[in-house]
Structure 1
Amino acid sequence: MTTTISPELMIGSQAPRLTSLPPLSLYIHIPWCMKKCPYCDFNSHEVRTERGDMPEAEYVAALIRDLETAVPQVWGRPVVSVFFGGGTPSLFSAQSIETILSTVRALLPLELFAEITLEANPGTFEMQKFTDFRAAGINRLSVGIQSFNPRHLKALGRIHNGDDALRAIEIALRNFDNLNLDLMYGLPDQTLEQAQTDIETAAASGASHISAYHLTLEPNTLFHRYPPPLPDDDLTAEMQLMIEQTLANNGYENYETSAFAQPGREARHNMNYWLFGDYLGIGAGAHSKISFRDKILRQVRYRQPKAYVEKTRASTMDAGPALLEQREVGRNDRAFEFMMNALRLTRGFAIETFLERTGLPITSIQRQLDEAEQRVLITRDFQHVAPTLLGRRFLNDLLQIFLPEKRIG
């Protein structure tokens, strides 16, 4: 494990203290998928069933050991949400998911109505399996549709087609009344009309939440090495406006840059991220953010599943979890990390929340707030800060104002 000490701590300046600890979520990473998509930069590994290289039971045991050794860091704190991400967590059996959740409930005070989400892909849908997931304790499903267009699905390397996507939604809605659909736009050779058909199909499905992401070419992906023909910036901007208008007309609120929800169906887990809440991440490559009264830590688990399993075997309650990296979030980074997340929210944030989550007074970024307001990128009063429509359209420009280097200079 490597530990990085921020420069201000090295010179002895006192870190700001938190008056209260933020809400706590739990993230559980399951890193296997049926096929690695060419645009995906997540820590996911393609299953090769003939080699039997998805050691489900062994990995579940490793997750449990990881959680047991991490619990002392968050002892007694209630968990408001649980998220099974990947990869494709729905590849695991409902029995494995139930075993993990039973351990969570035994070790942590899980809130009575905690949101518990499982990610799934249409290519892995079976009616009985998803009935069993619901019985195991999952109460929210997030389905990676991406598109209903067979040509675009093929270009994205997906293993399902449009009919599979519609069938998956039908099965999901029989078992879950809280359903998210992930879609993408700006796809290879996609037209505005095709993007509109996708979003209208999603809106008509009855899903309570829709996430619409612009396809980006991430480093270390096949698409980055061999870029496909993508729509230009003007066309993708038209797609974004069309998506926002279509979903608004269908009763969805655009409460975050890429997230749209029916009233009261915002993702609690993601809202906790965006408001600089805490999250304990277990599983291969999982990230954590854990606050204490006098410090905020960020942690990373070992990325490769085999190494992760081996390292968890050697971890102990006294030594703590097996970490690849741990660093303390310094004073200068706290404000930026908070703003980087909270300014994604259409409604912005309460100034009181900034103080609670960072330990810093809002005056610590007074000059940056003044600049953002002068450039009409935010609105604010004595209680609240929110991005303007211009600020949401040029979010990167807005966030650059709060970069630590800019503040130090």
Structure 2
Amino acid sequence: MPPLSLYIHIPWCVQKCPYCDFNSHGIKQGQSHADLPEQEYIMHLLQDLQQDIAAYLDLNKTPREIHSIFIGGGTPSLFSAKGIADILQGVQQQIPFAQDIEITLEANPGTVEAERFKGYVKAGVNRISIGVQSFDNQKLARLGRIHDSQEAVKAAGIAQSVGLNSFNIDIMHGLPEQSLQDALSDLQQAIALNPPHLSWYQLTIEPNTLFYSKPPALPEDEILWDIQEQGDALLRAAGYQQYEISAYSKAGQQCQHNLNYWRFGDYLGIGCGAHGKVTLADNRIVRTAKVKHPKGYMDLTRNKLFEETQVQADDLGFEYFMNRFRLLEPCPKEELEQRTGLSSDSKVIASRLAVALQKGLLTETTHHWQVSELGKRYLNELLSLFLE
């Protein structure tokens, strides 16, 4: 069985950002985070997990433990430290934790206080991901963020001081009316805070967002490429290694939860709209999605499972490579069969790999494939080969 992770979704945030297409719900006007149905929601999360374990994990015949937990949102740092502790304790009562488990909590700098961070660490969180996005206050306002640059710097300082194993800073580039100098300045300020991990990615306009209905003026492609090229050089010079298309880390500080996603590992997803992927004892792979809206999710008369689908054999190759080739590390050939049951010698897989190799999007040795520099630049073209 592949390693098993757990994703926990907390859907509330102070306000919905105009670029955000995640399943998040702004707090109603006049409410504060203290008004959230924290304990009620936690009860439903643990019930959701219990149902997933019963449906997908036969723990008596195939013992499995959780190797990583990611608490995302929304803004999970709206929940109290006690609430996070209650979640983690409730999860551990149902399924064992690996000894070196990584537990990540997403936090917004505008909802961060030193005592709250200390409480999260005491609850069991050992990694925090801080959604900074930019250090330019005008850009932050344009993005609908509730924090300013000073709060972002303060949050990073707190993260360094409270005994975490690691922390991440999220930075976006390609922002509305952003120049090359603006983007590099954001990155330099993030690097100066010395986070063990940096997620650095381009803003994309997604359907069902305010930016989609009222598109802002974004930088030209030539500027975007210069940002990517020069930003990558800055990160490498500062000792960061790119291990995934939009993720850099110091040595040994990669996000284990995300590595499990991209290596086609298994994960349960609990909470509003959470997605899961589980390999069953008979080697079938199922994907799950939960009810999206908090009202429906917390309705005791409804099943929390919104959708369950089995990954068909014809889709397995694309699903595997779509994830695996986001990583820049070598991809062991034996892993394809271990995770999917497919052989690289099969006619369909072999022909598509041959095209990728011929185009220079991949390199190959006896034991592995690896995305080339050209493949990194044209990742969508590489992945599309396995979709046809």
TM over 0.5: yes
State yes or no: 1:307 paired with 2:291.
no
TM-score in terms of structure 1 length: 0.90
Q: 1:211·1:260 contact (CA, 8 Å) conserved in 2?
A: yes
1:224 partner amino acid: Y
2:100 to 108, 113, 119: 113
Q: CA deviation at 1:40?
A: 0.1
Q: CA deviation at 1:97?
A: 0.5
Q: Which runs of 5+ in 1 are unaligned?
A: 1-20, 316-320
**Could you say which residue in structure 2 is the equivalent of 1:166?**
153
2:363 to 375, 379, 382: 379
**Could you say which residue in structure 2 is the equivalent of 1:37?**
17
Q: CA deviation at 1:350?
A: 0.7
Whole-Å Cα distance in 1 between the matches of residues 111 and 180 of structure 2?
Answer: 29
1:400 to 357, 360, 384: 384
**Could you say which residue in structure 1 is the equivalent of 2:66?**
79
State yes or no: 1:60 paired with 2:42.
yes
Whole-Å Cα distance in 1 between the matches of residues 31 and 242 of structure 2?
Answer: 44
**Could you say which residue in structure 2 is the equivalent of 1:15?**
none
Whole-Å Cα distance in 1 between the matches of residues 304 and 215 of structure 2?
Answer: 37
User: Secondary structure of the equivalent of 1:130?
Assistant: helix
**Could you say which residue in structure 2 is the equivalent of 1:286?**
274
User: Secondary structure of the equivalent of 2:169?
Assistant: strand
User: Secondary structure of the equivalent of 1:373?
Assistant: helix
Q: CA deviation at 1:253?
A: 0.3
1:356 partner amino acid: Q
Whole-Å Cα distance in 2 between the matches of residues 148 and 190 of structure 1?
Answer: 12
Whole-Å Cα distance in 2 between the matches of residues 396 and 138 of structure 1?
Answer: 35
Whole-Å Cα distance in 1 between the matches of residues 362 and 185 of structure 2?
Answer: 33
**Could you say which residue in structure 1 is the equivalent of 2:320?**
338
**Could you say which residue in structure 2 is the equivalent of 1:262?**
250
**Could you say which residue in structure 1 is the equivalent of 2:140?**
153
Q: Percent identity?
A: 45
Q: 1:299·1:327 contact (CA, 8 Å) conserved in 2?
A: yes
What CA RMSD, in Å, does the superposition of the two structures yield over aligned residues? 1.2
1:236 to 207, 214, 224: 224
Write out the 4+ residue segments of structure 1 that deviate beyond 4 Å after TM superposition: none
**Could you say which residue in structure 1 is the equivalent of 2:52?**
70
2:322 partner amino acid: M
Q: Which runs of 5+ in 2 are unaligned?
A: none
User: Secondary structure of the equivalent of 1:362?
Assistant: coil
Residue deviations 1:64-93, cap 9 Å, x none? 111111112222311100000000000000
Q: CA deviation at 1:242?
A: 1.3
Whole-Å Cα distance in 2 between the matches of residues 236 and 379 of structure 1?
Answer: 26
Q: 1:27·1:84 contact (CA, 8 Å) conserved in 2?
A: yes
**Could you say which residue in structure 1 is the equivalent of 2:5?**
25
State yes or no: 1:190 paired with 2:178.
yes
Highest relative contact order (Cα 8 Å, sep 6+), 1 or 2? 1
**Could you say which residue in structure 2 is the equivalent of 1:46?**
26
Whole-Å Cα distance in 2 between the matches of residues 177 and 302 of structure 1?
Answer: 33
Task: Quickly say closer, same or farther: Cα 1:55–1:49, change in 2 above 3 A.
Answer: farther
User: Secondary structure of the equivalent of 2:131?
Assistant: strand
Whole-Å Cα distance in 1 between the matches of residues 306 and 361 of structure 2?
Answer: 38
1:390 to 352, 374, 382: 374
Whole-Å Cα distance in 1 between the matches of residues 270 and 337 of structure 2?
Answer: 28
Q: CA deviation at 1:314?
A: 4.4
TM-score in terms of structure 2 length: 0.95
Whole-Å Cα distance in 2 between the matches of residues 204 and 122 of structure 1?
Answer: 17
Q: CA deviation at 1:48?
A: 1.8
User: Secondary structure of the equivalent of 1:363?
Assistant: coil
The size of the alignment, in residue pairs, is 377
Residue deviations 1:354-389, cap 9 Å, x none? 111101111231000100000000001221111110
Moved more, 343-352 or 80-89: 343-352
Moved more, 172-181 or 220-229: 172-181
Q: 1:147·1:153 contact (CA, 8 Å) conserved in 2?
A: yes
1:124 to 111, 118, 137: 111
Q: CA deviation at 1:51?
A: 5.0
Whole-Å Cα distance in 2 between the matches of residues 314 and 255 of structure 1?
Answer: 44
Task: Quickly say closer, same or farther: Cα 1:91–1:78, change in 2 above 3 A.
Answer: same
Residue deviations 1:126-166, cap 9 Å, x none? 11011000000000000000000111111111011111111
**Could you say which residue in structure 2 is the equivalent of 1:356?**
338
Q: 1:297·1:328 contact (CA, 8 Å) conserved in 2?
A: yes
Task: Quickly say closer, same or farther: Cα 1:141–1:261, change in 2 above 3 A.
Answer: same
1:276 partner amino acid: F
Moved more, 167-176 or 260-269: 167-176
User: Secondary structure of the equivalent of 1:104?
Assistant: helix
1:275 to 260, 263, 266: 263
Whole-Å Cα distance in 2 between the matches of residues 243 and 355 of structure 1?
Answer: 36
Residue deviations 1:31-70, cap 9 Å, x none? 0001100000000000126357621111111001111111
1:296 to 252, 267, 285: 285
Q: 1:342·1:348 contact (CA, 8 Å) conserved in 2?
A: no
Residue deviations 1:12-49, cap 9 Å, x none? xxxxxxxxx11000000000001100000000000126
1:83 partner amino acid: F
